[in-house]
A and B are shown apart, each in its own frame.
Chain A
Amino acid sequence: MSKDSQMRVAINQKLIEMGERERLKELLRAKLVECGWKDQLKAHCKDVIKEKGLEHVTVEDLVTEVTPKGRALVPDSVKKELLQRIRAFLAQHATL
């Protein structure tokens, strides 16, 4: 394992251990609901489901259809806020 990926694992471990990952997730979810991201994606899901048929749709279908769109639709302001929180965490814990 390279030094870089080792460091990544350590940081992720720390994020989970400190509970920061859970907090960030909750924050992101709240922001995404607030800005209508969830409704947009739900509408997209509806199209996908109608296309595939109600009985035949699988979680995998939904994930492959929805994830790229979901990533693109996250507003910049939300991204910025999350990044700021993550950077603050890294600054605190990467130098320890």
Chain B
Amino acid sequence: MKMEEVSMSSLDNSKLEGLAQDILSDLVEDACLGLCFEVHRAVKQGYFFLDDTDQESMRDFEIVDQPGLDVFGQVYNQWKNKECVCPNCSRSIAASRFAPHLEKCLGMGRNSSRIANRRIVTGNNTNNKSESDQEDNDDVNDNDWSYGAEKKAKKRKSDKNPNSPRRSKSFKHKSSMMGPRRRLDNQESPRMLMKDEAFPQ
């Protein structure tokens, strides 16, 4: 033990440097060997050449860079105007509105119980159009359900379906009744301000 310590401490710098170089080349050789094993295994298992392909199939999957087309060469927004047919009420709905429609139509989601209740009521009495609340009112002016609004309007009357969530027309009434009162409130506020200003003095 004592011998070893002496021999180690008596090393000069050039010897240390040589040692460091040797360790480095050992490590590099290890890395090469590791790579060789890896490649050899890949070759024997048959997955080494999987990532090369011929020029022709590369050309098939080239990225398209043209205006109006996406990277796959497909027409941009080609699905925008697609319509889906609702399986419940068999109306055709714009694809972007289909999910919210289906939620209401099937009576799922957070409004489900309320809508289900209403459906029972309207099922008993189809003339009862008074109950609707703010949250469901995006169905009221339902031109945005589908893109060909006029075309669909005729169809809608013909196949009136009691399962459809679209129902009451009372929203417009409500908002026109609310209008004047709000304006009155606004007129009151300046007077209030003047009072507040006078108060501290």
Contact = CB atoms under 8 A, between A and B. Distances in A.
Interface of A: 3-4, 6-8, 10-12, 15, 21, 24-25, 28-29, 32, 38, 41-42, 45-46, 49, 54, 57-59, 62-63, 66-67, 70-71, 74, 79, 82-83, 86-87, 90-91, 94-96
Nearest to B23: A86
Please tell me the size bucket of the interface on B. Answer: 20 to 34
Contacts of B43: 49, 54, 57
B54 to A, nearest CB: 15
Contacts of B4: 6-7, 10
Contacts of A79: 24
A25 B36 CA distance: 16
A65 B36 CA distance: 10
Main secondary structure of the interface of B (DSSP, over half): helix
B37 A29 contact: no
A7 B9 CA distance: 10
Contacts of A74: 28
Given A7-B4, A94-B8, 8 more contacts: A7-B7, A59-B36, A66-B32, A66-B36, A67-B29, A79-B24, A83-B24, A96-B8
Given A29-B31, A70-B28, A96-B5, A90 B16 contact: yes
B34 interface: yes
7 A-B pairs closest in CB distance: A70-B32, A62-B36, A86-B20, A45-B39, A67-B32, A59-B40, A94-B8
Interface string B41-70: 001000011001000000000000000000
A8 to B, nearest CB: 7
